[in-house]
Amino acid sequence: MAEPKLTVTKDAVVTVDYTLTLEDGEVVESTQGGMPLRFLAGNGEILPVLEDALMSLSVGDELNIVIDPQDGYGEYDEEAFEEVPLDSFPANETLEPGMPVGVEDSSGEVFEAYVSEVRADTVVLDFNHPLAGETLHFKVKVIDARPATAEELAHGHVHDEDGHHHH
């Protein structure tokens, strides 16, 4: 009897190779020649639309999916910029456009923003995700799927192969 094909199901640890390109063909991320992406399915680690599309695929399957901005990283918000004093950053930090910075709001929640422009005394931060407003073209190949261990489920993420966690 043939072995059942491993499929992607909720709480499976799934390994995929993927390439993300934009409308103009620019490759934003790719696992080619690098580490494949491993994630715990159904736990919100990757874009929900992408995750839904992967569900029920089997190992060896390939998927090409186009994700609209509203299902990806949101529409680009022209208003999502803020100018902050340069001296609110550590003095020894070299700020470069495109650099991610963590910004804490009054309630202590941390947002990721990106340096848009460095001026004389201020820095303009862009709170849009770098891929906001972009239509995402994912090409995904499922390499492996296995049931998650009880420990992984308890933690809600994949553990390293060697099982060592440093606290």
pTM above 0.85, yes or no: no
Q: Where are the domains of the chain?
A: 12-73+133-155, 81-126
Tens-digit pLDDT profile for residues 20-50: 999 999 999 999 989 999 999 998 889 999 9
Rounded CA-CA distance 67/135 in Å is 6
Buried b (16+ CB within 10 A) or exposed e, 111-142: eebbbbeeeeeebbbbbbbebbbbebbbebbb
Reported CATH class of domain 12-73+133-155: alpha beta
User: Given this model, what pLDDT does residue 167 score?
Assistant: 42
- In the predicted model, is pLDDT for residue 53 greater than 60? yes
User: Given this model, what pLDDT does residue 161 score?
Assistant: 58
Rounded CA-CA distance 85/71 in Å is 34
Tens-digit pLDDT profile for residues 72-111: 999 999 999 999 999 988 888 889 999 999 888 889 888 8
Reported CATH class of domain 81-126: mainly beta
Rounded CA-CA distance 78/76 in Å is 6
- In the predicted model, is pLDDT for residue 1 greater than 90? no
Q: Mean pLDDT, to the nearest integer, of 50-63?
A: 94
Tens-digit pLDDT profile for residues 108-163: 888 889 999 999 999 999 999 989 999 999 999 999 999 999 999 998 888 765 54
User: Given this model, what pLDDT does residue 164 score?
Assistant: 46
User: Given this model, what pLDDT does residue 7 score?
Assistant: 87
